[in-house]
Amino acid sequence: MQIVRTIADLRSCIAAWRAEGLSVGLVPTMGGLHAGHLSLVGEAARRTDRVVATLFVNPTQFAPNEDFDSYPRDEAADAAMFEGAGAALMFAPAPEIMYPKGHTTKVIVEELGAMLEGEFRPHFFVGVATIVTKLLLQSLPDVAVFGEKDYQQLCVIRAMVRDLDIPVEIVGGETVREDDGLAMSSRNAYLSAEERKVAPVLYENLRLVAAGERTAEEASAYLLEAGFSSVDYISVRDAVTLLPEMNPGRPARVLGAAWLGKTRLIDNLAVG
């Protein structure tokens, strides 16, 4: 696996593959890799000839009070995992490569990007949409794979790609879970042993809401009772528009975000 750090080197590697007639898949990540990320690399490898995995902790999607500084960083470990999963190239740019002095352009997905996560983290989807646009235009892949774990992010990226006519197919990769149901997440590393035992209660409650056996309000109460410090939202939404108005016959999704001590966990499931 090659490791490149500049946009020019990235484009030159991809151009060489294109000259051979090879297709290209992209898997953007912020590192802190786990089996969930690797399954996305695997999905891209099944669909394309060469997979570019990116490693960049994007500062613009963190608010000043969030965990940018403490976000897990271990490039050597991540590189080994990407290679093991079948990536042909790792793109690991420095912040000044992605945001050189004077960078002021932002991509904003209104409505979809303003609800749910956008309500609690107003900077988040602007940062995500801008960096993902850049990564897609730097590499111009045939396919880019994003995890369903960040379901609203996947919806925002699909809308952005459609609205800006970015020539790429966006593929969602299924959430990978621990044996007890907890969705894999780089932020699970923040949990204490005690919190880790409580964490699967989020998944369990989303599962019961998805099955129609518990309401979103009841699920919130159960989370607090189990030891979660606060619940940002548990909500059943249209699976495409993420609007709260449900239309019969259209797929629905239950999404949740809750705090366990200082760690914020999110998860989601298809309803029914």
The binding site for a second copy (CB under 8 A) comprises 7, 11, 102-112, 129-130, 133-134, 137-138, 140, 159-160, 163-167, 241
**What is the residue-wise DSSP string for 215-247?**
-HHHHHHHHHHHT-SEEEEEEEEETTT--S---
Other beta carbons less than 10 A from residue 243's beta carbon = 12
Q: Which of 138, 268 has the CB closer to a second copy?
A: 138
Residue 18 Cβ vs a second copy, minimum distance, rounded to whole Å: 11
In angstroms, give the least distance from the CB of 136 to a second copy: 9
From the candidates 34, 37, 103, 123, which is the catalytic residue? 37
- For residue 270, what are the β-bridge partners? 253
Q: How many residues does the chain have?
A: 272
Q: Which is nearer to a second copy, 100 or 272 (CB)?
A: 100
Q: Least separation, in Å, of the C-beta of 107 and a second copy? A: 6
CA distance 3 to 13: 10
> DSSP character for 149?
G
Q: How far apart are CA 40 and CA 57, in angstroms?
A: 18
Return phi, psi of residue 247, to 5°: -110, 130
Half-sphere exposure of 167 (CA within 13 A, CB side): 5
Q: Which residue has the tokens 């060489």?
A: 16
Nearer to a second copy, 163 or 169 (CB): 163
In the bound state with a second copy, the residue whose beta carbon lies nearer, of 102 and 248, is 102
CB 171 within 8 A of CB 141: no
Nearer to a second copy, 41 or 109 (CB): 109
Which residues, including other chains, have CB under 8 Å from residue 116's CB and lie 6 or more apart? 152, 233, 235, 237, 242, 255, 257
Q: Are strands 252-260 and 263-270 parallel, antiparallel or unpaired?
A: antiparallel
- Known catalytic residue at 37: yes
Q: Which of 151, 158, 135 lies closest to 185 in space, CA to CA? A: 151
Least separation in angstroms between CB 103 and a second copy:
5
Q: How far is the CB of 10 from a second copy (least distance, A)?
A: 10
Which active-site residues does the annotation give?
37
